[in-house]
Amino acid sequence: MAPLQGAVKQGVDIHKLLAEANISEDVLTEPNYRVNAAQYAVLLRSLWVVMEDEYMGLAPVKGVIGSFSMMCLSVIHCHNLEHVLRRASEFYSLFHGGGTHEIRMEKQNVILEFKLSLQHDPNRFLHESMLVIWHRFSSWLVDRRIPLKEVRLNYSAPEHEKQYWQLFACPIKFDSKETALVFDRQFLELPIMQTEPVLKEFLKISPADLLARPEDRNTMTAHIRGLLGRDFSNDFPEFDWLAEQVHLAPQSLRRKLREEGTNFQEIKDSLRRDTAIGLLSRPELSVHDIAEKMGFSEASTFHRAFKKWTGLTPGDYRKGRAR
């Protein structure tokens, strides 16, 4: 699990951290194991406290505990987003060796480039986290989602390449000369809509919450998931019907989903997987009950499908949560 790499190197008891977050140790060996947003947020906050490092051992220097909060307080009274980004850059430049960023313009685009060391972050977790945090924090400040035009990454595509679309909903350019977010420069002029009292409430759960919560995006994938719903008592609707609902020809919808890094089958599988994981957290439901709710006529068929989705049988997954 990428967030734990720095803790492992420093000899931190990660088993205790996982237990405190109610996360099974199967997450260490099963690449398809899933945790929910609340568990993930608890784990991240525990890592920062135990390691006394907001960078979790993934940068050349420690990220002083409280530095993110102080940065937020230093920018909350800025008049627009450009002022925020430039002041935050000055703030983090005081911590030599940590993560900072620079702003430059390319025609109508803003390039928000992050200066991060790859040496201490082999799984690129800190890189991805910084990009996600700054995109979501900036969007929160101006009270509207800032659509990204491109994400540039100065490393090769990893095995979980498809998950980058889920994080950013824009084209991803690997093997770039820089790590950066690219968006339209008009968003720099947006006024800051949040206040200091609201910020203080926000900081009770952030930045862990910014990383843990699912991104609310206006994507075709999210639209299709919404149309499919979570009632599995009947078969999924036909693809042509879905295309009609979103006012696209079937081939256009397939192309749109492909551009978002997915397809109809993957959406159906992920929806079933996420629902099944949620149901398995309810001890009053037997695996047979869950199989029925998931629309499987045979429990054995549900077993095979769940193992394909997560690498574990439903029983083993439930035992892992119990441990």
Domain ranges of the chain: 77-192, 220-322
Q: What is the pTM of this model?
A: 0.68
**pLDDT digits 0-9 by tens, 53-87:** 888 888 888 888 888 899 999 999 999 999 999 99
For residue 207, say if its preceding peptide bond is cis, omega within 30 degrees of 0: yes
Which residue positions in the chain have pLDDT lower than 70?
1, 30-34, 36, 97-99, 212-218, 261, 320-323
> Can you tell me whether residue 109 is helix, strand or coil?
strand
pLDDT of residue 82: 95
Please provide the DSSP assignment of 153-184 as one string. Answer: -SS---TTTTHHHHHH-S-EE-S-SS-EEEEE
pLDDT at 110: 95
Which pLDDT tens digit goes with each residue over 145-162? 888 899 999 989 887 787
- The third-level CATH classification (topology) of the domain covering 220-322 is Arc Repressor Mutant, subunit A (1.10.10)
- CA-wise closest residue to 293 among 305, 304, 279: 279
Rounded to the nearest 5 degrees, what angle is found at the Cα of 226, between the Cα atoms of 221 and 232?
115
